[in-house]
Structure 1
Amino acid sequence: MILKKDTSVVSWGDFLDVYHKIRQKGMSYLFSKLHLSHSARVSSKWDLHTASSDFWEVPEIVMDWNKSISGDENKEYEDYVAEKYFKGKTGLKILSVGCGDGSHERKFAVYPAVEKVVGIDIAEMRVKRAREMAQELKLPIEYIAGDFFKQDFEKESFDVILFSSSLHHFSNISTFLQNYIKPLLKNGGLLVVYEFSGPNRLQWRNSQLKEANRILQTLPNKFKTLYDGKTLKKKVYRPGLLRMLLVDPSEAPDSENLVKGIHDNFTVLEEAKLGWNILHSLLKGIAHNFVSDDVETKKVVYSLIEQEKKFMQITKENDAIFGVYRKD
């Protein structure tokens, strides 16, 4: 394997992350990863996943993404898509690949145009919770816990296929879309994508790391405290490839080719750049410090958002997209 210059096999950040994970979950967490198979590690990662300190938990950041997509910071992308593309239609069938806890499917399922939503995910515990919520709300959703590649979905049976932070977990994205996704869509059907499209295996570019670390040094200490409430985040690191493969071997194997893969197979109806190239790594582990509703916190968050936008303008780099595409 030939490594790019912006690549780390092992980084100091890996040791720090393992140290904090052991303090939080015990040595059993580390040993469990060493004994799991590829698919079991993926399932374990997402069954046990908590999002208590990731950048998507900061309301102002999510509202900025909403505005980039729909022009309205209070309109989530599910509502935007349904209102724009489901109008005047009935009997729609939606497939969500990598549905997780089912939040996106529940938002689509409330629209009268939707007859049925099918969600599939490899993480059994998350699917179990999704089923329980759908049943409680009496929504027309079927959740499947299992490997997408082992399912026998009928060809051209779906009007919409959704990927919400899941497409980047697949290898050889262009081929995957051509051979497995496109055949399931009806002619004229829609592919809806809300996705990470940055460096493979989260191997942050040197330019990203430099800017993220510059911004980190400007933050007051109270905004740099890790989730234990004591330790300060002193540096942003590129995750090592060994850790990536150990913790979640499905994480971003071909993400940097995601946009091209979509364009190779579908007609673009709309596409928005969401950024994620600074805040993703910068706020990892410290995002919980930015959810307060006080004036100072909001001011800092808005400043971070603007600094990422400025970085995007200067470098022309972007690590996430929202898009709606059509099968012709």
Structure 2
Amino acid sequence: MTTAAAEHWNRVDNSGRVNWWSSAKCQSYYNQALCGEAALTGGSEGVRRRLAKDFPGRVFERAVSIGCGPAAKELALIADGLVGHFDLYEIAQTRIDQGRKAAEALGLLDRITHRSGDVFGSEREPEYDLVYWDHSLHHMSDVDDALAWSKAVLKPGGVIVINDYVGPNRLQWTPAEVARANAFLAESAVRRGVPVRKLHRSNIVSWLKMYRRDPSEAPQSERILAAAQRHLPGVKFEPVGGTFLNILGGVVVPLVDEDSPVIDEMLSADRQLLTEGSAHFTFAIWSA
């Protein structure tokens, strides 16, 4: 599975206008949910502001991130003065190369160490001040063990950050979610002439297609909240919303400009879903 997932992520190109994270409005909406500040359009900028607010003046001298991709979020934490050094685990060589190139351009290459191998099979000794999960925990094949590891490698007083997807496994939307999303598309996008595609209900074929495309995509996302409760006593999750961001971001954002009312209406509908208890994304900071 690891080899197939690595091959997939070596091919992934998230440049351009591909999904909700490509939209400044969507990023601002997400970041504001995390830290309460508007107009923050950088990726995971809300996480950094939240850490700075919750731990004023603190520098997490040694941090670790699993599934870091090109490490843009981790490099930003270093650049902001929040992290001293990051150990980075990533299975896709293309993304490792991208991260190292970016670090070199920022003058931060000596403050990151890329590691490989089975991170969860290594010795579990307390060595990190920060364990950072930012939309990567849901890619783990065993989220229970990943969180057990996270706690075991944390120094006394260390912090675990979880900013992640906790929706349906394998991105297989529920019938209610599909119906709600299609109703929104008909009302907001189709009537404005946006050539959106109608969503189809999940089934065994869509599950298999997702697995073949990326076997690391959300195999146990639905178990994250319960696993965290088992391993991180007293952890408090804050639902971020994101049901429509996640389901419709890749459908709507590539087809419309940033000033399109469809994006505004998508975010308004996402906010309404959150009030109804529907959230695909969640956030927590836990201290040992």
TM-score bucket of the superposed structures, by smaller chain = 0.7 to 0.9
2:22 maps to what in 1?
Answer: 57
The 3-state SS of whatever aligns with 2:99 is: helix
1:26 maps to what in 2?
Answer: none
Question: Identity across aligned pairs (percent)?
Answer: 22
Q: 1:43 deviation in Å?
A: 0.7
Q: Are residue 233 (structure 1) and residue 203 (structure 2) matched?
A: no
The 3-state SS of whatever aligns with 1:220 is: helix
Give the TM-score taking structure 2 as reference length.
0.87
| Residue pair 1:82, 1:111 contacting (<8 A) in 2 also | no
**How far apart, CA to CA, are the structure 1 residues paired with 2:28 and 2:191?**
25
The 3-state SS of whatever aligns with 2:157 is: strand
Q: 1:268 deviation in Å?
A: 4.9
Q: CA RMSD in A?
A: 2.3
| Residue pair 1:216, 1:235 contacting (<8 A) in 2 also | no
Moved more, 42-51 or 266-275: 266-275
Distance verdict in 2 for CA 1:90–1:278, change over 3 Å: closer
Number of residues paired by the alignment? Answer: 278
1:174 maps to what in 2?
Answer: 144
Query: Which of 57, 68, 75 does residue 99 from structure 1 map onto?
Result: 68
Per-residue CA deviations over 1:252-283 (Å, capped at 9, x if unaligned) read 11101111211221145653212222232223
Runs of 5+ unmatched residues, structure 1: 1-37, 226-231
Matched letter for residue 19 of structure 2: D
Matched letter for residue 149 of structure 1: V
Distance verdict in 2 for CA 1:196–1:128, change over 3 Å: same
Q: Are residue 72 (structure 1) and residue 40 (structure 2) matched?
A: no
Give the TM-score taking structure 1 as reference length.
0.77
Matched letter for residue 169 of structure 2: N
1:39 maps to what in 2?
Answer: 2
1:281 maps to what in 2?
Answer: 247
**How far apart, CA to CA, are the structure 2 residues paired with 1:143 and 1:104?**
15
Distance verdict in 2 for CA 1:172–1:39, change over 3 Å: closer
| Residue pair 1:268, 1:324 contacting (<8 A) in 2 also | no
Query: Which runs of structure 2 are paired with 1:84-233 in the superposition (5 Å)?
Result: 84-90=53-59, 92-112=61-81, 114-139=83-108, 140-144=110-114, 146-149=116-119, 152=122, 155-178=125-148, 180-218=149-187, 219-220=189-190, 224-225=194-195, 232-233=196-197
Q: 1:169 deviation in Å?
A: 1.0
**How far apart, CA to CA, are the structure 2 residues paired with 1:206 and 1:131?**
42
The 3-state SS of whatever aligns with 1:263 is: helix
Distance verdict in 2 for CA 1:278–1:187, change over 3 Å: same
Per-residue CA deviations over 1:138-195 (Å, capped at 9, x if unaligned) read 11432425344377467111000111111011133223311x2211111221111110
| Residue pair 1:78, 1:108 contacting (<8 A) in 2 also | no
| Residue pair 1:82, 1:108 contacting (<8 A) in 2 also | no
1:6 maps to what in 2?
Answer: none
1:33 maps to what in 2?
Answer: none
The 3-state SS of whatever aligns with 2:243 is: coil
**How far apart, CA to CA, are the structure 2 residues paired with 1:249 and 1:124?**
17
The 3-state SS of whatever aligns with 1:213 is: helix
**How far apart, CA to CA, are the structure 2 residues paired with 1:288 and 1:275?**
21
2:280 maps to what in 1?
Answer: 319
The 3-state SS of whatever aligns with 1:283 is: helix
Distance verdict in 2 for CA 1:146–1:82, change over 3 Å: same
**How far apart, CA to CA, are the structure 2 residues paired with 1:237 and 1:208?**
9
Q: 1:251 deviation in Å?
A: 1.1
Matched letter for residue 68 of structure 1: A
Q: Which has the larger radius of gyration?
A: 1
Distance verdict in 2 for CA 1:165–1:107, change over 3 Å: same
**How far apart, CA to CA, are the structure 1 residues paired with 2:97 and 2:142?**
29
**How far apart, CA to CA, are the structure 2 residues paired with 1:49 and 1:176?**
24
Matched letter for residue 254 of structure 1: Q
| Residue pair 1:105, 1:141 contacting (<8 A) in 2 also | no
Runs of 5+ unmatched residues, structure 2: none
Q: 1:321 deviation in Å?
A: 0.6
